[in-house]
Amino acid sequence: MRIDKLYIKEFKNLKEFHIDLDETQMNTVLLGQNATGKSNFIEAIIKIFKYLDLGKEPPFETELGYKLEYKIAYEIKNCKVIVVFNGKYKFLFSENIEYKDEPEENFNIITKTKFFANKEQYLPKYVFAYYSGISDRLNKLFWEHQERFYNKIIKKDFNYSELDDIRRLFYVKQIHSFFVLLAFFSIEAMEQKSKDFLKDVLGIEDLESILFVLKKPNWNNKEGDERFFGALGLVQQFLSVLWNYSLAPIYHEETVQVDFNHKPTLKRLFLFIKDKEQLQVFTKKYFDLNNEEPNNTFLFKALESTYISDLLEEVKVKVKKRVDGKVTFKELSEGEQQLLTVIGLIMFTREKETLILLDEPDTHLNPLWKYDYLYYLRTLAKSQTKLNKEGEIVEDSTTQIIINTHDPLVIGSLDKSQVKLFRRNEETNQIIAESPSVSPKGLGVAGILTSELFGLPTILDKETQEKLNKKRFLQGKILREEKLNQDEYLEYHKLKAELEEYGFYEEVEDQLFKMYLAEMTKHEITQKVEFTKEEKAFLQTESKNAAKRVLEKLINKTL
């Protein structure tokens, strides 16, 4: 699954919006200032596939005053699909994937009935979304899919064959990290695949214990299993097996303060799995009961059913970690949960036509993990079956990951084709998205921050940069053999001494730089830190002219 192009007529601040993604790349990163439409772009993609999966037209949105109209082109299962919605649907299909810009008249028209009857062929297998912030704006887009799943699993006579292994549209939450970790350790084959990542990146050597904390839900069902507060269906079946392998299930009732003026009495059930071996025995029994071969998505679905049914309050997982040579037992930090959730779901669904939308997924990650984030995504989402000519596993061509970030550490390894800069066109005020003129790769963090990617005037604090610019301005006068007045002389030596304490030494062996500095500092504007658009243009022109004058002096000197 790879989106190629998307046109949006109007959606919030995206109007007559066009974007052309590099469909040959697995990762695309969205950059731009706040309020330039990056999150709205992700929201629009979710809505497009939401209503396609539900077999509906995008509804009229009262608060916006219009329907979402769009045209999207994407590759899936070695074919091309174009979907247009401009008040009614139009579906086009082509098997000629080698022809990049194939004219639409060469595509086959698909009827709406045929498209919705064959969603497995025309739609991505999964659309995952993750947002690390506190807003539930994205979460709400998935409620209808969650409700459909919930209504199926609570039936007493529920049928596994009616359930997707994981919902096509899935909103990822922090609690899913524990389900991922349990799936990693429950299945021995999966444990071997994930062991290097868990140990090398997260420092997790083994699983120590698991405590499931269940609570009385906000619903009541007298026909269900009393042990689990009246649960039926998938949840009851899963919890029954878990109950049999838990060490001394315990009920406990207590008053809990959830706010300064709210102290409800909660009834809880604690189910404790004492070690990894017991977990694997329990999950094997659950697979055997359902005549299912061990697989992580089947187990993940059962674990998530307890959460979506409002039964699961939390999962406390203790892991064995080695810190400074010592083995300790601890719970996962927020950063570990965040990384584990995304990486785990990518590993579960690779080679399955998956679209992954990550809105600021790096919020709780330390700088090292941010630096390696795209490396983890790229290497852990590699194809399990395809090899290149050198026999190396190649990138998974069925997965596309679109990431919205504000962190320069994340993008340092990317080519410019993998980056889309969102900004306002100053003439039309419309949001546009285009690739930068330079690649982040090779620039370094300082270079990325001061390039068009982030547009910072300097990586120094403003006060220090102002002092450095003033000192260079005065130094330029000296280099041009212009006489400083008394105040300038005192200020220059004061700034020189102060900046040398920070490591900014004046003496440099590069004579060309000295000549360039002498030319550029003829202008008072070089003392500033922040510049207007016109001033930036002037400085760019003057920089070229200064370099040209330096070269002319060198040429004249040698003649």
- Per residue in 385-417, pLDDT (tens digit) is 554 555 555 677 899 999 999 999 999 999 999
Q: Supply the pLDDT for residue 191.
A: 64
What is the chain's mean pLDDT, rounded? 90
58 pLDDT more than 80: yes
Q: What local confidence, expressed as pLDDT, does residue 93 receive?
A: 94
Cβ atoms of 346 and 383 within 8 Å: the answer is: no
pLDDT at 549: 92
| pLDDT tens digits for range 12-51 | 999 999 999 999 999 999 999 999 999 999 999 999 999 9
Q: Is 54 left (phi over 0), alpha (psi -120 to 50) or beta?
A: alpha
Per-residue pLDDT tens for 195-222?
Answer: 788 888 888 889 999 999 999 998 888 8
For residues 315 and 211, is the Cβ–Cβ distance under 8 A?
yes
Spatial CB neighbours of 354, under 8 Å, sequence gap ≥ 6: 1, 124, 125, 126, 127, 128, 346, 398, 399, 400
Decide if 521 contacts 473 (C-beta within 8 A): yes
Please give the angle made by the CA atoms of 205, 210 and 214, to the nearest 5 degrees: 155
Residue 109 burial by CB count (10 A; 0-12/13-18/19+): exposed, middle or buried?
exposed
> Would you state the pLDDT for residue 313?
93
Q: What is the DSSP letter of 83?
A: E
Asked whether the beta carbons of 334 and 214 are under 8 A apart, the reply is no
Spatial CB neighbours of 259, under 8 Å, sequence gap ≥ 6: none
Least confident of 77-86, 260-269, 391-400: 391-400
Residue 26's CB is within 10 A of a number of other CB atoms, namely 21
Domain 2-135+353-442 CATH (choose: 3.40.190.290, 2.60.40.10, 3.40.50.11030, 3.40.50.300): 3.40.50.300
Question: Which of the residue ranges 2-16, 327-341, 420-434, 479-493 would you say has the lowest mean pLDDT?
Answer: 327-341
pLDDT in the model for residue 393: 52
Distances (CA, A) of 420 to 28, 65, 450: 7, 28, 17
pLDDT of residue 164: 66
What mean pLDDT comes out for the span 248-259?
Answer: 89
Low-confidence winner among 66-75, 118-127, 133-142, 410-419 (lowest mean pLDDT): 133-142
Residue partners of 507: CB distance under 8 A and separation at least 6: none
Under 8 Å between Cβ of 419 and 411? yes
Helix (H, G, I), strand (E, B) or coil at 29: strand
455 vs 396, more confident: 455
Q: What is the pLDDT of residues 304-348, one digit of tens each?
A: 999 999 999 999 999 998 776 555 667 788 888 889 988 888 888
In 3D space, the residue among 105, 121, 63, 60 whose CA is nearest the CA of residue 85 turns out to be 60
State what percent of residues in the chain have pLDDT above 90: 63
Read off the pLDDT band of 121 (50, 70, 90).
Answer: very high
- Mean pLDDT, range 492-509, rounded to an integer: 85
Least confident range from 96-105, 223-232, 286-295, 485-494: namely 96-105
Q: What is the pLDDT of residue 105?
A: 87
Helix (H) or strand (E) holding 240: helix 233-245
Cα gap 449→445, rounded to integer Å: 6
Q: What angle do CA 87, 90, 93 make, to 5 degrees?
A: 160
Residues near 418 by Cβ (< 8 Å), separated by ≥ 6? 22, 25, 27, 28, 29
Q: What is the mean pLDDT of residues 163-178?
A: 86
- Under 8 Å between Cβ of 130 and 343: no
**What pTM does this model have?**
0.89
In this prediction, residue 343 carries a pLDDT of 87
DSSP 177-206: HHHHHHHHHHSHHHHHHHHHHHHHTS-EEE
Every domain of the chain and the residues it spans: 2-135+353-442, 173-337, 462-556
pLDDT tens digit sequence for 41-56: 999 999 999 999 999 9
